[in-house]
């Protein structure tokens, strides 16, 4: 079906980013995967080209676009099978906390650097023993005069090695009965004493994304670095997690489309028993099923993305998209990989990397099981 959510301006932006990706991303992918990290220079180049926080107002150094510009970037990264260059995490997950909940002084202090690539961001919610249970975090922030003193550990933090700013969720009220009201958010500069970046974690997929552990040991952070009021952190997290889940859904949808397109090319070129794989009925039936799932997912997601871009907060629908698109991606990439036979097990094939990258989509930003809980609550169950 024809897509209608993008304007001519968005498509020109897509063309520009596609050129950027072919020049500044694709040639470096193998090396980034080996290093387990994207070049820092790539971030500054993306910032110089206007591809970081494209929705941000010009007064803060942004291009003045909208969320659909971000959606274009997510789709184009998937098109070249790039899962490690965490542009969307920075632009559409972390920086929105600064933009919506930061005061004017904080915005002026941090947002221009976020748009230029001078400041790379991360968000530190998950802890070794909490997973999706945000109310159960144990990192603490104790008020001491004009500062807070942070102690605790975070894990599975994307951009954990490269980050300059980290939005950290910490307990400011230790009363167990105030589990949700006791969380506050702090912006912590990576240069602060007491803040340390642990080892880079070795993952099954997303090889070029620098996922790490973080530690805070008597880390003093000025009260001026707190986002919003003390105790409002859980509300802020819940408000922004909807967009984070939509970002994951967008990447998963585009990933499924990229894998399907790659597979369609392959089955028309690869021969078995004297004829192309595409000539076999099994190939036709399996890929027809995959194409239908992809098309259904795209139709729902485009409607949701357009409404989200207009400013409508759709927590239930974003959770539905996170659930559907990530589960659909898993089905499609597994089915498609089968057509590649032994080559589908070789890392030089994009479908192999896509298979490994796909698995975590059902886990981070809230597992599929958590999405079902949220949807059920929205249904009054």
**2 is a domain residue:** no
Residue 111 is part of a domain; what is its CATH number? 1.10.540.10
Question: Which tokens belong to 334?
Answer: 């597994």
Q: Is 139 in contact with 171 (CB distance < 8 Å)?
A: yes
Domain range holding 274? 235-378
Whether 351 and 251 map to the same domain: the answer is: yes
Give the end of a domain, one of 188, 207, 229: 229
Q: H-helix or E-strand containing 255? A: helix 233-269
- In angstroms and rounded to an integer, the radius of gyration of the C-alpha atoms of the chain is 21
For residue 132, the model assigns a pLDDT of 66
Whether 101 and 186 map to the same domain: the answer is: no
How many residues belong to the chain? 381
For residue 130, the model assigns a pLDDT of 78
Whether 150 and 104 map to the same domain: the answer is: no
Question: Active-site residue numbers?
Answer: 244
Whether 108 and 66 map to the same domain: the answer is: yes
Whether 127 and 216 map to the same domain: the answer is: yes
Rounded to whole angstroms, the Cα distance separating 47 from 24 reads 12
Instruction: Tell me the β-bridge partners of 154.
Output: 214
Question: Which tokens belong to 27?
Answer: 């040639």
CA-nearest of 119, 78, 130 to 95 is 119
Whether 111 and 139 map to the same domain: the answer is: no
**288 is a domain residue:** yes
Whether 191 and 139 map to the same domain: the answer is: yes
Query: Which phi and psi (to 5°) does residue 140 adopt?
Result: -115, 155
According to DSSP, the β-strands at 140-144 and 147-157 are: antiparallel
DSSP 3-state assignment of 221?
A: strand
According to DSSP, the β-strands at 212-222 and 147-157 are: antiparallel
Rounded to a whole number of angstroms, the distance between the first and last alpha carbons of the chain is 35
Whether 288 and 338 map to the same domain: the answer is: yes
Q: Is 91 in contact with 49 (CB distance < 8 Å)?
A: no
DSSP 3-state assignment of 13?
A: helix
Angle at 173 between CA 228 and CA 106, to 5 degrees: 20
Question: Which tokens belong to 114?
Answer: 């976020």
Rounded to whole angstroms, the Cα distance separating 319 from 327 reads 12
**3 is a domain residue:** no
Rounded to whole angstroms, the Cα distance separating 42 from 27 reads 12
Provide the phi-psi class of 194: left if phi over 0, else alpha when psi is between -120 and 50, else beta: left
Indicate the pTM of the whole model.
0.95
Q: Is 310 in contact with 55 (CB distance < 8 Å)?
A: no
Whether 240 and 335 map to the same domain: the answer is: yes
Mean pLDDT per 10-residue interval, the chain, length 381 residues: 93 98 97 95 97 98 96 98 96 98 98 98 91 82 97 96 97 80 95 94 94 97 97 92 97 98 97 94 98 97 96 93 98 98 94 97 94 95 93
Whether 319 and 248 map to the same domain: the answer is: yes
Whether 106 and 137 map to the same domain: the answer is: no
**285 is a domain residue:** yes
Maximum distance among all alpha carbons in the chain? 78
In terms of Cβ atoms closer than 10 Å to its own Cβ (0-12, 13-18, 19+), residue 356 is middle
- Structural domains counted in the chain: 3
**158 is a domain residue:** yes
In terms of Cβ atoms closer than 10 Å to its own Cβ (0-12, 13-18, 19+), residue 191 is exposed
Instruction: Tell me the β-bridge partners of 222.
Output: 147
Q: Is 14 in contact with 20 (CB distance < 8 Å)?
A: no
Give the end of a domain, one of 83, 99, 119: 119
For residue 333, the model assigns a pLDDT of 98
């Amino acid at each position: 079906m024809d897509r209608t959510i993008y304007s001519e301006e968005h498509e020109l932006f897509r063309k520009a980013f596609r050129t950027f990706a072919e020049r500044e991303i694709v040639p470096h992918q193998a090396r980034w995967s080996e290093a387990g990290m994207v070049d820092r220079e790539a971030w500054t180049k993306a910032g110089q080209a206007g591809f970081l926080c494209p929705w941000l107002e010009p007064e803060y150094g942004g291009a003045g676009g909208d969320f659909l510009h971000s959606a274009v970037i997510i789709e184009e990264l998937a098109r070249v099978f790039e899962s490690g260059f965490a542009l969307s995490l920075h632009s559409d997950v972390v920086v929105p906390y600064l933009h919506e909940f930061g005061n004017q002084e904080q915005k002026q202090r941090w947002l221009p650097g976020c748009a230029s690539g001078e400041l790379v961001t991360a968000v530190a919610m998950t802890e070794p023993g909490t997973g999706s249970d945000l109310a159960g975090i144990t990192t603490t922030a104790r008020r001491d005069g004009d500062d807070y003193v942070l102690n605790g550990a975070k894990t599975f933090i994307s951009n954990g090695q490269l980050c300059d700013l980290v939005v950290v969720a910490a307990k400011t009220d230790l009363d167990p009965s105030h589990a949700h009201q006791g969380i506050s958010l702090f912006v912590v500069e990576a240069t602060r004493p007491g803040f340390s970046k642990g080892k880079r974690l070795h993952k099954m997929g997303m090889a070029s994304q620098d996922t790490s552990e973080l530690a805070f040991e008597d880390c003093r952070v000025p009260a001026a670095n707190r986002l919003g009021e003390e105790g409002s952190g859980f509300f802020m997290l819940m408000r922004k997690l909807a967009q984070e889940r939509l970002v994951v859904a967008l990447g998963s949808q585009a990933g499924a489309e990229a894998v399907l397109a790659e597979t369609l090319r392959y089955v028309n070129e690869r021969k078995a028993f004297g004829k192309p794989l595409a000539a076999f009925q099994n190939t036709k039936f399996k890929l027809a099923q995959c194409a239908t799932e992809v098309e259904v997912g795209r139709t729902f997601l485009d409607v949701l993305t357009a409404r989200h871009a207009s400013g409508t907060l759709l927590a239930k629908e974003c959770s539905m998209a996170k659930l559907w698109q990530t589960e659909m991606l898993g089905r499609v990439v597994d089915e498609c990989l089968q057509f590649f036979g032994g080559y589908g097990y070789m890392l030089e094939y994009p479908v192999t990397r896509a298979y490994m990258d796909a698995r975590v989509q059902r886990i981070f930003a809230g597992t599929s099981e958590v999405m079902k809980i949220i949807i059920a609550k929205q249904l009054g169950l």
